[in-house]
Amino acid sequence: MVRFFSSQSFLAIYSGCLTVVFAVTVLAGFARPWSGNASFDQITVRRMNVVEPDGTVRLVISDKAEFPGLYLHGKEIKRADRQDSAGMLFVNDEGTEDGGLIYGASKDAGNGPSSFSHLSFDQYDQDQTLVLGASLEDGKKASGVTVNDVGAYVITPEFIADAERVKAMPNGAERSAAWAKLNVKYPSAAERGFFGRQKDDSVRVSLRDTAGHVRAVLMVKADGEPALDFLDGAGKVTREISGNK
């Protein structure tokens, strides 16, 4: 018996049994759903998805390379124009995009520094209705808050495909005509109000009608002069009240 326990056959069987027990233990650990909490001093990731117990994505935090496309009712639709910034994507209870935060900055030789930040919140199954943004380009600074009206239609995969097709067209009359046709089928968002700093160094409040036409502007110009302008539907100033009058 002692000779058997020291034999090569016993050692091979013993080793095999240990391997099987170890494999079962590891697999059982992976199969068991994680139900505890963990604390980390630091975690480094390229992308993090926050999900509900049923797997519905609710928040994505990502670098540029892994930034997601558009989420519509639990399905992700690729978007080529979302590869230039890192940030966060908000997703509602139904798995549809509900706004987000993107940002970026760079300094190119000969062009100087540029930067942008964009925080937005969307209407249900539609586009952004509230936007907080800031930018720097060619030495010109702008920042402000924008309130939009969006279309009554629902954003669908077909709408995204149509928009991406037009975006991919070369600039010119044909592309402009395609955009005009697309806007008839899917009316674009209309800006209703804006408060912020403009690239001409003025600060202003701009109010628009339901068609997006500017109807009233309260501003302080770059030279410090205050002014209040009223405009008609064609954009013509019908009355101006200046702080110097």
Mean pLDDT rounded to a whole number for the chain: 86
Reading the block at residue 209, the tokens are 């009608």
**CA-closest candidate to residue 62, choices 107, 105, 101:** 101
pLDDT in tens, 114-164: 999 999 999 999 999 999 999 999 889 999 999 999 988 899 888 888 888
Q: Looking at residue 177, what DSSP letter applies?
A: H
Q: Looking at residue 234, what DSSP letter applies?
A: T
- Enclosing H/E stretch for 218: strand 214-220
pLDDT in tens, 46-93: 999 999 999 999 999 999 999 999 999 999 988 877 878 899 999 999
Domain boundaries, the chain: 1-34, 42-151, 200-245
